[in-house]
A and B are shown apart, each in its own frame.
Chain A
Amino acid sequence: MTQASAGSGPPGTSLSVPAGPQVRTRAWSRTPTARRYLFGYTLLAPAVLYVGLLVGVPFFFSLYLAMSDASVGEPIARFVGLENFRSALESAKFYIALRNTLAFTVGAAIMKGLLGTTLAFLLMQPFPGRKVVRALIVIPFTLPITISILGWKWMLDSQFSVFNWALSRLHLIGGYGSADWPVWLGQPGLALLSVMFVNVWRGFPFSAIVLMAGMTSVAPEIIEAAKVDGATFVQRFRKVIVPMIAPILFVGSAFDTVFTLSDLSVVYLLTNGGPDGATEVLPTLAYNMGIRAGALGRGAAVSLFLFPLLLPAMIVLLRTLRRRQY
């Protein structure tokens, strides 16, 4: 902050000039501060314009679209008010998608939290080969999502699933075509579990790494100190570990929730919402309505229903980002 006073011009000069407001304005525009601001906003302008034009404007345009009857075939849209939202709220499909979205997001978040925490504690121990193990375990997160989903689609194939082969060899299920042969992506309950599992598979390394990044520097010493002070494992867990990891896990989950809620690719590529809407989530519904069926307005309205769901996570993130220190 010392630089701030040094850079913003000697305060003495403005005091020593007994001038009217006009003169002062002109003088101010020539001060180093003013030139720095001008320079700064010029540098900032391209990024702000780009993001403003291609995120800000489209966002508001999508609010407008959601209140119009725009469709792919008819470029001239009529204003229909909240009609699209109303018709969404009246369709059974929407509720199924909403329910699946919530179940999917919450269920997957819990799984990722549990697996991520376990993994983080294991990876924080010093042991030979730790770096290699870590690099291997984060593969699911670093592999481009489309690519890993295709791998899963093959592993969950209705006929040649490698899991089914294994289960059948262990005599846990019968052969192909028998009644207990699981069709992972073709049976409603299993399909929802499968898409959830793929999301968890992709996300658990992220939870673990976020936790580790937050804990490595302090955690072992604090836990050790508690141990020295005679705290039992349960006490250490409840009084030290949980309070320590909870806020970090919270932020990690908030990020993950934003990514999960808005992700189209897992469901779209694995099941495209099927069988019979069993895995339909808001993103796939919005995509299928807006692009496939061409009802842009209704698609936009459905996608906007994601916003209230995203808001809590975004507020969490906003608050933590504001606390960032250097």
Chain B
Amino acid sequence: MATIAMRAGRAPRSPRAKAVRRTSLIYLGLTPFLVIAVFPIFWMVVTALKQEPDLYRMDVVPFWFHLPPTLKNFDFLFHRTSYGDWIVNTMLVAFWVSGITLLTAVPAGYALARLRLPFAENMGIAIFMTYLVPPIILFIPLARVVSILELQDSWWSLVVVYPTFTIPFCTWLLMGFFKTVPFEIEEAAMLDGCGQFGALLRVVLPVSLPGLITAVIFAFTLSMQDFLYSLAFVAVSDQKPVPLGVATELIRGDVYFWGSLMAGALLVGVPVAIVYNLFLDKFISGITGAAIK
């Protein structure tokens, strides 16, 4: 009987039609968000690939090319600016910051999570809270530290300063991570004759590799978010990291090298955004894990 009723009306198509309608409504709702989120990137890519005169034409639709696309802007970056140096500096800073962060945050996170120290939880929170102390309060005194260490105008100053936010964040992240490693494997290792330190080194760390990789990723992506410290401490062109270099060296007085600006920004920004994207959920649960559970 039901079949007859369904044949009579348009009922058989309806569940699917309903789903299609629902999906299109969702997409309709998401479209403005997608446009707002993605358009700037699209616009930057187009700008980076346009020839100079093509950038400044208001009489034609600017969203596409009216002169053939060019790689001249990228060429300019590598041959007429210190862009190559900036990339090297960024990588070196990232390398050393990650190293310092791992060497300090891994033991600290482990100690706080596993060794049942008195007040461990509160100490963890205290360390994490330092992540929230804004650089704008710290940069003036840190400028003094940098000058005492005679690191002004060198990317090494950033190696010293960036761990002030990567260590608190990664300690907190790793603390949460180490808590998920089962106690049993550590105990088994200790029964087999490892000391506590041996157990950490040979058993806990290898198991925690994903956590360590996450920590390195964040040491890198958080460093890439900095602007203030590099602006305040590094004024020499060939010592700058990419974000600062692009923002300060491609603007000369009132002249903006828009094509090269966008090219230089995207070349580093896009890979960072992709990596960050993959680890975003870890970032969110790292900082809010609290509220959410």
Contact = CB atoms under 8 A, between A and B. Distances in A.
Interface residues of B, number: 105
16 contacts: A36-B196, A47-B127, A54-B163, A58-B145, A115-B33, A119-B30, A144-B273, A148-B40, A150-B262, A154-B43, A165-B58, A213-B288, A251-B288, A258-B132, A287-B232, A322-B121
Contact of A133 (B34, B58, B246, B285): B34
A205 B62 CA distance: 27
Contacts of A310: 132, 134
A143 B43 contact: no
Interface residues of A, number: 105
B33 A137 contact: yes
A4 interface: yes
A87 B62 CA distance: 49
Interface in A190-207: 201, 204-205
B108 A143 contact: no
Interface in B172-231: 176, 179-180, 183, 196-197, 221, 224-225, 227-228, 231
Contacts, number: 297
A103 B142 CA distance: 29
B110 interface: yes
A4 B221 CA distance: 37
B239 interface: no
Contacts of A165: 58, 62
Nearest to A33: B116
Contacts of B23: 127-128
Interface string A53-76: 011111101100100000000000
A139 interface: yes
A43 B290 contact: no
Interface of B: 22-23, 26-27, 29-30, 33-34, 36-38, 40-41, 43-44, 47, 55-56, 58, 62-63, 100, 103-105, 107-108, 110-112, 115-118, 121-123, 125, 127-130, 132-145, 160-161, 163-164, 167-168, 171, 176, 179-180, 183, 196-197, 221, 224-225, 227-228, 231-232, 243-244, 246-247, 256, 258, 261-262, 265-266, 268-270, 272-274, 276-277, 280-281, 284-285, 287-293
